[in-house]
Amino acid sequence: MKTVFNKCNFCNSSLTHEVTDLGMQPLCQDRIKPEDLSKMEPHFPLKVYICDKCFLTQVPESASPEQIYRDYGYYSSFSDTWLDHAKKYVNHAIKEFEITKDSLVTEIASNDGYLLQYFVENDIPVLGVEPSVGVAQYAINEKNIRTEIEFFGVNTAKELLRKYGKSDLIIGNNVLAHVPDINDFVEGMKIFLKADGVITMEFPHLLKLVEENQFDTIYHEHFSYLSFSVVQKIFAKHHLELFDVDQLSTHGGSIRIYAHHKEDKKRTVQQSVFNLLEEEDKAGMNELEYYDSFNEKVKETKRNILEFLIQAKKEGKRIVGYGAPGKGNTLLNYCGIRSDFLDYTVDRSPHKQDTFLPGSHIPVYHPKMLKSTKPDYVFILPWNLKSEIISHHKYIFDWGGKFVVPIPKLHVIDHAYPLNNQYNIVNVSDKYF
């Protein structure tokens, strides 16, 4: 256990302004093996604070990165939606940044090679940096992705610089929020980036988290919850300039930032930067009051979810889960949902099947279990992938089954219909019965 001093991850000010408290929680990506069910399971406080000096929203470090990533269960390649997103990004980056066979593309937190594989298909040299041994070895052995098994920061950047030279393009998808020392991480990118190189980072947008009540995206591996204006300050401190930004639909609403060395005059700052800064300011994100109503919205969502589950169980309905994501484990443990409400959950990843979810100890099976048990409700835990999940499992509707989506507002989906070879999702109502 670490001693927590509650200092801001960016400016080192004391953290006193609490945004929400999700209680004591296990590490959300842990997988409990059957033989370990009776063993003690570590839990850590999951409280969110906002710095009243720099406005970085964060979870103070209580579990170390080494604990979190020792047996990391998330493999990016088991989502078709995410793979399609990665491939489109690669095609865009190659064209936009003139990436060639003479370039070096580096992805930090490269996971199982889900993105770098598309650069390899174009004969472009790549380097993955991934701290979790299991997923890194999968990338090396199964996808032939050159990968360094390291946490990234200044020391790692200097080591990589000696071995590979500087990188033309540095990519980080859903990693900026994961680092306990954000200054060390950003300075490391500054060191490893070529003079005319580009950094792109994607991360969930704090504005969407607050406004759409996405509290389940809060967990221990997410040390920071990021607005564009705060990220601009962090990068500026390290002499990196944000010159463009895209707003994305991934993970319930993300942004992709584009950065280069401040002294690089090859690119000019785009209007999108000023527009998003203005949007955040108008929303009130630079005022503490903006965050004060969030905690009550979280509590109300918990009450609504439990009300639905209790009523459905009283009616004799069978409810199961779909997915075993980190966000799902935050939701289940905060709401106190165990196998008394969800009989089981299913997941496409063989790395998660035949294990149990952390904390709740709900069993995880192969998706074929859905056809054999024919549940009344399928509770979608990775709600950001609901369209993909429903399109793959539309047979649920054949026996009158329904899908339940908990965020941003609990609702039930009772059918889908084909439109241009896609499945349009139709909500029964905003009410959950």
Report pLDDT for 252: 84
Residue 429 or residue 290, greater confidence: 290
Report pLDDT for 175: 94
The predicted-structure confidence for 36-89, as pLDDT tens digits, reads as follows 999 999 999 999 999 999 999 999 876 666 666 566 555 666 778 889 999 999
Poorest-pLDDT segment among 6-20, 46-60, 124-138, 415-429: 415-429
- Alpha-carbon distance 298 to 230, whole Å? 24
- Alpha-carbon distance 146 to 140, whole Å? 6
Q: What is the mean pLDDT of residues 386-415?
A: 92
Q: For the chain, give the mean pLDDT.
A: 91
- Alpha-carbon distance 246 to 202, whole Å? 9
**Beta strand 240-248 with 254-261: parallel, antiparallel or unpaired?**
antiparallel
Q: What is the mean pLDDT of residues 353-368?
A: 96
One-letter amino acid of 284: G
The predicted-structure confidence for 242-262, as pLDDT tens digits, reads as follows 999 999 988 889 999 999 999
Report pLDDT for 81: 82
Could you count the other beta carbons within 10 Å of the beta carbon of residue 319?
Answer: 20
CB 381 within 8 A of CB 327: yes
In the predicted structure, residue 419 carries a pLDDT above the cut 60: no
Could you count the other beta carbons within 10 Å of the beta carbon of residue 69?
Answer: 22
Of 317, 227, 311, 234, the residue nearest 277 (C-alpha):
227
Structure tokens at 101: 């066979």
Helices (H), 97-153: 116-120, 133-143
CB 361 within 8 A of CB 39: no
- Alpha-carbon distance 105 to 128, whole Å? 9
* Residue where the block lists tokens 């429903």: 390
Report pLDDT for 68: 61
Q: 430: which DSSP letter?
A: S
CB 200 within 8 A of CB 169: yes
Q: What is the mean pLDDT of residues 381-405?
A: 93
Could you give the domains of the chain?
76-291 (3.40.50.150), 305-427 (3.40.50.720)
